[in-house]
């Protein structure tokens, strides 16, 4: 008969679950603070123990036309050297999304740092783009 090994301190499910860092002060010292019902879904509400503010995780792409996929396409085309109006034209023809070049620029400014951080091979293209 085999001996069964017992774990003295088994990990709890709370340790495994992900908690977002604070949206405002970036502190990892947050607690779950209930749920919030939105038009789209029920969202997890968090409370930061450092700055005492409440926030909801993942609200970047909720109300953006085209969502995360189109934002990725915009950033990809921009770092490949296309102009803002060319990107506008491409979105209209390929995805049937009417997005003005000013909105494209705002989206690039908002998400380019995160895009560069997640895609290191685009740093080279971004450096070339910034020199122009």
pLDDT, residue 53, reads 93
Interhelix angle 101-118/67-79, rounded to 10 degrees, is 90
More confident: 129 or 68: 68
Q: How confident is the model at residue 10, as a pLDDT?
A: 46
Residue 16: predicted pLDDT: 46
Tokens 């085309």, residue located: 77
DSSP-derived secondary structure for 63-125: TSTTHHHHHHHHHHHHHTT--HHHHHHHIIIII-----HHHHHHHHHHHHHHHHHH-TTHHHH
- pTM for the whole thing? 0.54
Q: How confident is the model at residue 125 (pLDDT cuts 50, 70, 90)?
A: low
Cβ-Cβ contacts under 8 Å for 102 (sequence gap 6 or more): none
What is the predicted pLDDT for the residue at 104?
94
* Residue 62 belongs to some domain of the structure: no
Q: What is the pLDDT of residues 43-101, one digit of tens each?
A: 888 999 999 999 887 656 666 777 778 888 998 899 888 999 999 999 999 999 999 99
How far apart are alpha carbons 128 and 16 in whole angstroms? 41
Structure tokens at 114: 């995160």
74 and 101, same domain (yes or no): yes
Q: Count the Cβ atoms, other than its own, within 10 Å of residue 7.
A: 6
Domain enclosing residue 46, as ranges: 18-56
In this predicted model, what pLDDT tens digit does every residue of 3-26 receive, in sequence order?
A: 555 545 544 444 445 677 888 898
In this model, does residue 115 exceed pLDDT 90?
no
Residue 86 lies in a domain: yes
Eight-class DSSP state of 40: S
Do 90 and 123 belong together in one domain? Answer: yes
Better-predicted residue by pLDDT, 112 or 58: 112
Structural domains counted in the chain: 2
What pLDDT, on a 0 to 100 scale, did the predictor assign at position 67? Answer: 79
**108 found inside a domain:** yes
Q: Are residues 86 and 52 in the same domain?
A: no
């Amino acid at each position: 008969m085999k001996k069964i090994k017992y774990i003295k301190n088994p990990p709890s499910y709370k340790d495994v679950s992900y908690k977002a860092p604070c949206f405002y002060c970036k502190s990892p010292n947050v607690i779950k603070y209930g749920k919030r019902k939105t038009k789209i879904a029920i969202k997890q509400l968090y409370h930061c123990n450092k700055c005492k503010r409440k926030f909801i995780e993942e609200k970047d792409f909720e109300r953006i036309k085209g969502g995360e996929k189109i934002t990725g396409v915009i950033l990809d085309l921009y770092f490949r050297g296309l102009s803002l109006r060319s990107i506008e034209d491409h979105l209209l023809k390929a995805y049937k999304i009417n997005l003005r070049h000013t909105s494209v620029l705002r989206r690039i400014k908002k998400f380019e740092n995160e895009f560069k951080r997640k895609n290191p091979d685009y740093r080279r293209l971004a450096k070339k783009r910034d020199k122009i």
